[in-house]
């Protein structure tokens, strides 16, 4: 039976999906190969500390991305922290606020001040003009974030970093297997950092990596990842435990074998969302630049100002949740509106970040989401968006159940 707006709003949801449909459901490679690798690990009793699967994984990632060095880590946050420390960042570092909190925390955790800079609404990433304005004598580096796989204006940031003698790294947690001007993400700046967390389209359960072409930096990163050990009983740096374990590397190697399939599903779902929601007044699915290699891992719905004046993004989010469509507000409300930054910077104004953070919803995709699921989600979204006035009336307690 065709759903009506009343079904969605008045009756507290009609559970369009029996099971929750998540944004962030992990992709999993071929089970038999995965289990075979797990068995090899158990049989060999080599579980971690630079084991054979980690070494193979690092080589495969470096080859795929086209860099000299891949240093696999236990997660993306620790990878960021180690990259920041290995590059000697201190004082102030310029970052976007429109990112996952880990980007800011990786700095603050080690006593470095994240200086939040607004984004360019055209790229959703750091605005180079505003970056330049945020530089002070205390600035030592810039961290760009390729948010949702949309790449930063890398050339402009690299030019600023070179001219102002600043380090430059990219938080590429969302941009594994993406390209910028035809070159794979991973080889830009002093280093780039990936996250291979379970929710990423390519995962190692938990995991991450720093990739770089800088030999000296790579050596330092490897030492810092392993407590600073330079020999069995010799420690030369302050280090931590950032190592990836063998089970994660086995997961990664197996996922790599299915990478093309994951990408194809993401691409298919993206095109299905775009097609189903084309020409709809009030919302749009953000477009990827398909002249580049994209991973399509985030399907980002932007609701426009005219629509959200009637029904807010959060109201849409709640209606979808009641239907078991677990969309996410990545990255609301922005790091500058979370602690400890909110209290430290009560006056900070980042209008573009605030504007975007209020309007977006990341929709479910990945191999757990079928084309028919996408179709159903889009039908509901169309119903909500095209009946904004009726939704408002019902939310305000208009005509109740009949």
Q: Considering the complex, state which of residue 328 and residue 392 has its C-beta at the smaller distance from ligand T4K.
A: 328
Q: Considering the complex, state which of residue 94 and residue 388 has its C-beta at the smaller distance from ligand T4K.
A: 94
Nearest to 76 by CA among 101, 110, 56: 101
Task: Rule CB under 6 A: say whether 76 interacts with ligand T4K.
Answer: yes
Q: In three state form, how does the secondary structure of 88-109 look?
A: CCCCEEEEECCCCHHHHHHHHC
CA distance 218 to 151: 23
Q: Considering the complex, state which of residue 328 and residue 382 has its C-beta at the smaller distance from ligand T4K.
A: 328
Chosen residue from 16, 27, 75, 139 binding ligand T4K by CB under 6 A: 75
Phi-psi region of 379 (alpha: psi -120 to 50; beta: other; left: phi over 0): alpha
Q: Considering the complex, state which of residue 99 and residue 367 has its C-beta at the smaller distance from ligand T4K.
A: 99
Chosen residue from 326, 327, 335, 384 binding ligand T4K by CB under 6 A: 326
# residues contacting ligand T4K (CB under 6 A): 22
Task: Rule CB under 6 A: say whether 369 interacts with ligand T4K.
Answer: no
CA distance 317 to 325: 9
Judged by CB under 6 A, the stretch of 22-30, 265-273, 288-296, 305-313 that binds ligand T4K is 22-30
Task: Rule CB under 6 A: say whether 330 interacts with ligand T4K.
Answer: yes
CA distance 245 to 308: 46
Q: Considering the complex, state which of residue 106 and residue 263 has its C-beta at the smaller distance from ligand T4K.
A: 106
Q: Is the Cβ–Cβ distance between 269 and 371 less than 8 Å? A: yes
Nearest to 272 by CA among 179, 358, 201, 366: 366
Q: Looking at residues 80 to 139 of the shown chain, list those that interact with ligand T4K (rule: CB under 6 A).
A: 99-100, 102-103
How many other CB atoms sit within 10 Å of the CB of residue 181?
A: 10
Q: Looking at residues 163 to 202 of the shown chain, list those that interact with ligand T4K (rule: CB under 6 A).
A: 171, 173-174, 195, 197-199
Largest CA distance in the chain: 78
Residues at the site binding ligand T4K, with contacts judged by CB under 6 A: 22, 24-26, 75-77, 99-100, 102-103, 145, 171, 173-174, 195, 197-199, 208, 326, 330
């Amino acid at each position: 039976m065709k759903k009506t707006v009343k079904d969605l709003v008045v009756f507290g949801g009609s559970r369009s999906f029996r099971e929750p449909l998540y944004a962030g459901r992990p992709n999993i490679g071929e089970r038999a190969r995965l289990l075979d690798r797990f068995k090899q690990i158990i049989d060999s009793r080599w579980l971690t500390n630079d084991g054979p699967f980690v070494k193979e994984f690092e080589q495969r990632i470096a080859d795929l991305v086209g860099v000299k060095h891949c240093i696999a880590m236990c997660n993306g946050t620790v990878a960021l922290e180690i990259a920041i420390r290995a590059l000697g960042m201190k004082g102030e570092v310029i970052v976007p606020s429109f990112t996952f909190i880990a980007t800011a925390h990786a700095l603050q955790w080690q006593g470095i001040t994240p200086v939040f800079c607004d984004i360019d609404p055209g790229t959703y990433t750091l605005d180079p003009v505003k970056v330049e304005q945020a530089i002070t004598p205390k600035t030592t580096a810039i961290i760009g974030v390729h948010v949702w796989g949309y790449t930063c204006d890398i050339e402009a940031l690299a030019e600023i970093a070179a001219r102002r003698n600043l380090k430059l790294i990219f938080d590429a947690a969302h941009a594994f297997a993406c390209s910028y001007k035809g070159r794979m993400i991973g080889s830009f700046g002093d280093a780039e950092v990936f996250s291979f967390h379970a929710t990423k389209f390519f995962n190692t359960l938990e995991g991450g990596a720093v990739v770089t072409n800088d030999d000296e930096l790579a050596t330092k990163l490897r030492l810092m990842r392993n407590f600073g050990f330079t020999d069995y009983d010799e420690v030369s740096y302050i280090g931590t435990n950032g190592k990836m374990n063998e089970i994660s590397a086995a997961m990664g190697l197996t996922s790599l074998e299915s990478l093309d399939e994951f990408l194809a599903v993401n691409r298919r779902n993206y095109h299905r969302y775009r097609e189903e929601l084309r020409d709809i007044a009030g919302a749009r699915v953000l477009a990827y630049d398909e002249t580049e290699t994209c991973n399509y891992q985030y399907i980002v719905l932007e609701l426009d100002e005219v629509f959200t004046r009637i029904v807010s993004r959060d109201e849409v989010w709640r209606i979808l949740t009641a239907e078991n469509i677990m969309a996410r507000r990545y990255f609301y409300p922005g790091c500058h509106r979370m602690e400890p930054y909110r209290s430290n910077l009560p006056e900070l104004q980042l209008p573009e970040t605030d504007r975007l953070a209020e309007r977006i919803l990341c929709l479910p995709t990945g191999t757990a989401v079928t084309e028919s699921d996408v179709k159903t989600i889009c039908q509901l979204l169309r119903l909500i968006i095209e009946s904004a006035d009726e939704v408002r009336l019902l939310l305000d307690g208009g005509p109740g159940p009949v």
